[in-house]
């Protein structure tokens, strides 16, 4: 029996396992014969005396001693790996719970980082779009029906229709300006457009300028006698709204001409078709912005497309008995005038809305926004057509 104080075989041989070594001790620098020769003479780096390296200690280790000292814990690893490779394993899907993925399955959104809408979201969007389109069509049909009915009845019926449009439009403008801190005199502006409409019906175009001038003077006198904050700004927007929306009153003397229904419907259809042509041509072919600072969506291609569509429509319309008195040449000129002044009226309203930071002037028309948003193209086109038809001798 060996004495307990007698050094073991490993201890006698000076062999330490890596996990039993004291890290605080300095590492012993071992000088190997083969490597010393390599460092002294680089030319002999390929000739290493391996026998000298293996025999630099007085004693040799057997394979059993080496395994017992370093890799005893891994003796059964090869057998376990071999046995596991021979067994049959059944593959099974593993579902991971990920934040934001309720089903536990990894989708395109989790890999790409792009958020995709669910099927329910798309259905809700389609339903909302369909409902909005239905609302737009319904409100448009109601307005067109009232317009056509008043035009067929003629006289004060159509005048009243135009005056109501002007009252609603100028009221929307003043209400929007009030949300931006301005205080226009809405009462003066509404009275102004009413007087302009009544004057156009009774006296003609000359009354439009007369009543507009009178209300302008009264507005200035009011702010002079009753001082208010920001008097100049508020007086200016009051007069601007009245004069701008009051331009629609030019439709009243046009409706008093020899062919009121034909001429008014001609203007309405050309304005509408010009707008439709500009929209579709600009959307499909538009590249160059017409007025990027005022209305980024309008393009030069759309403007030209609207002119072409309006000219084609006028060429076809003058072949019908209702518009044959206009003639082809006059019809083409009228379509060109409308094609210029209708987009100009739209740009003016876009400039006003952009300056005060709003998208729509109101919401009185479901699906269309405000009344002023619908008649903006007519505010410049109708006065231009009035003077053009007067020059052609049609009024």
CA distance 262 to 151: 10
Checking if the pLDDT of 341 tops 60, the result is yes
200-207 average pLDDT score: 93
Checking if the pLDDT of 137 tops 90, the result is no
Percentage of the chain lying above the pLDDT 70 cut: 65
**Higher pLDDT pick, 386 / 287:** 386
Range name among 55-64, 160-169, 249-258, 284-293 with the lowest pLDDT average: 55-64
* H/E run at residue 252: helix 251-255
pLDDT band for position 272 (50/70/90)? very high
**Domain coordinates of the chain in residue numbers?**
140-256, 258-395
pLDDT band for position 293 (50/70/90)? confident
Checking if the pLDDT of 371 tops 50, the result is yes
CA distance 189 to 196: 11
CA distance 271 to 310: 8
Chain-centre distance of CA 359, in angstroms?
A: 12
pLDDT band for position 7 (50/70/90)? very low
26-37 average pLDDT score: 47
Checking if the pLDDT of 79 tops 50, the result is yes
Q: Which two tokens stand for residue 370?
A: 């405000």
Segments of the chain assigned E as strands = 289-291, 295-299
The per-residue pLDDT for 9 is 45
Checking if the pLDDT of 104 tops 80, the result is no
Q: Which two tokens stand for residue 74?
A: 């891994």
Checking if the pLDDT of 300 tops 80, the result is yes
CA distance 19 to 100: 46
């Amino acid at each position: 029996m060996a004495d307990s104080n007698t050094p073991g075989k490993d201890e006698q041989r000076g062999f330490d396992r890596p996990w039993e070594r004291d890290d605080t001790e300095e590492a012993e620098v071992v000088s190997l014969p083969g490597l010393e020769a390599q460092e002294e003479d680089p030319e002999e780096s390929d000739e290493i005396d391996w026998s000298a390296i293996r025999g630099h200690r007085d004693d040799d280790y057997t394979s059993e001693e080496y395994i017992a000292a370093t890799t005893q814990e891994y003796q059964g690893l090869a057998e376990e790996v071999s046995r596991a490779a021979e067994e049959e394993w059944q593959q099974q899907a593993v579902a991971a719970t990920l934040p934001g993925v309720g089903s536990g399955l990894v989708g395109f959104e989790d890999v790409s980082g792009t958020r995709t809408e669910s099927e329910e979201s798309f259905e809700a969007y389609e339903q909302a779009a369909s409902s909005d389109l239905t609302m737009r069509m319904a409100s448009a049909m109601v307005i067109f029906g009232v317009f056509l009915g008043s035009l067929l009845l003629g006289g004060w019926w159509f005048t009243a229709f135009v005056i109501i449009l002007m009252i609603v439009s100028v009221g929307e403008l003043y209400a929007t300006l009030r949300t931006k801190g301005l205080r226009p005199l809405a009462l003066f502006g509404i009275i102004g457009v009413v007087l302009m409409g009544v004057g156009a019906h009774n006296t003609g175009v000359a009354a439009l300028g007369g009543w507009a001038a009178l209300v302008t003077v009264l507005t200035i006198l009011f702010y002079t006698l009753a001082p208010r904050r920001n008097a100049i700004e508020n007086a200016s927007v009051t007069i601007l709204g009245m004069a701008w929306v009051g331009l629609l009153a030019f439709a009243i003397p046009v409706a008093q001409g020899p062919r009121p229904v034909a001429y008014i419907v001609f203007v309405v259809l050309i304005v509408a078709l010009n707008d439709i042509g500009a929209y579709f041509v600009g959307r499909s072919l538009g590249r160059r912005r017409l007025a990027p600072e005022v209305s980024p969506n309008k393009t030069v291609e759309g403007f030209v497309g609207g002119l072409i569509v309006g000219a084609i429509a006028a060429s076809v319309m003058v072949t019908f008995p209702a518009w044959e008195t206009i003639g082809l040449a006059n019809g083409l000129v009228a379509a060109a005038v409308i094609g210029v002044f209708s987009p100009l009226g739209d740009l003016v309203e876009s400039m006003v809305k952009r300056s005060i930071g709003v998208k729509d002037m109101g919401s009185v028309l479901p699906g269309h926004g405000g009344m002023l948003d619908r008649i903006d193209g007519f505010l410049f086109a109708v006065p231009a057509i009035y003077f053009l038809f007067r020059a052609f001798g049609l009024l």
